Amino acid sequence: MDADAGGSNQDGGVGPATHDPLTGLPTRLHLQARLRRAGSDLGESRWLAVICLSCDRFPTGDTARGRAARDVCLVELADRLRAEIRGADTAARLGGDAFAVLLADLADVTDAVGIGERLRRTLERPVRWSRGEITLSVRGGVATVGAGDPDPQAALGRAEAALGRARPGGPSRFVVAGPAGSPG
């Protein structure tokens, strides 16, 4: 699992941060680099996928209790993602309550939806903390990349667009993006 591979700049050093200081997960920047590498290493008849996940009913940071609840949720969700992904996969925090998972080297493109649904259900389990329990609903979007795809990094944008299309359908919804070359 690529949750803390080198290049971290969590201490405020020179250059962009590649890991989120709260969750320890890679950032969007690290995920994009990993997606580029995974796309170039993709073998014939193999797939990779990007799954974007976002929480509904997420605690806001407009009060001291809200900030504490938000931080507890983010750390717990990051830990759950780390525990669920395979060694070759990468979980990242995109910002706010949004996460992404790069599934590297899938044998069957349909596996991405099943894994995405499993991740969604895992993140929807109540988060327990000192002041009670927080219940979330999670939306998801997935995009796949096959061997020879000219722009594997575009899968992140397609997965985010699919995530956006999941919002009007209500909570706990999962949407699959169109093929490479489509707007999402």
Pairing of strands 47-56, 132-134: unpaired
Question: Phi, psi at residue 21, to the nearest 5°?
Answer: -65, -25
pLDDT of residue 64: 56
Give the C-alpha separation, 114 to 148, whole Å.
24
pLDDT of residue 135: 85
The whole-number mean pLDDT for each consecutive block of 10 residues of the chain, a chain of 184 residues, reads: 42 69 96 91 87 82 69 94 94 95 90 93 91 88 87 92 88 82 52
- 136: tokens are 């979330």
pLDDT of residue 15: 58
> In 42-152, which residue ranges form alpha helices assigned H by DSSP?
64-84, 111-124
Q: Which residues have a Cβ under 8 Å from the Cβ of 140 and sit 6 or more positions away?
A: 51, 52, 53, 54, 116, 117, 119, 120, 163, 166, 173, 174, 175
Give the C-alpha separation, 123 to 61, whole Å.
20
Domain boundary assignment for the chain: 28-176
Give the C-alpha separation, 166 to 170, whole Å.
7
Q: What is the H or E stretch that residue 175 is in?
A: strand 174-176
- 105: tokens are 């080297």
pLDDT of residue 61: 53
pLDDT of residue 44: 80
Fold of 28-176: Alpha-Beta Plaits (3.30.70)
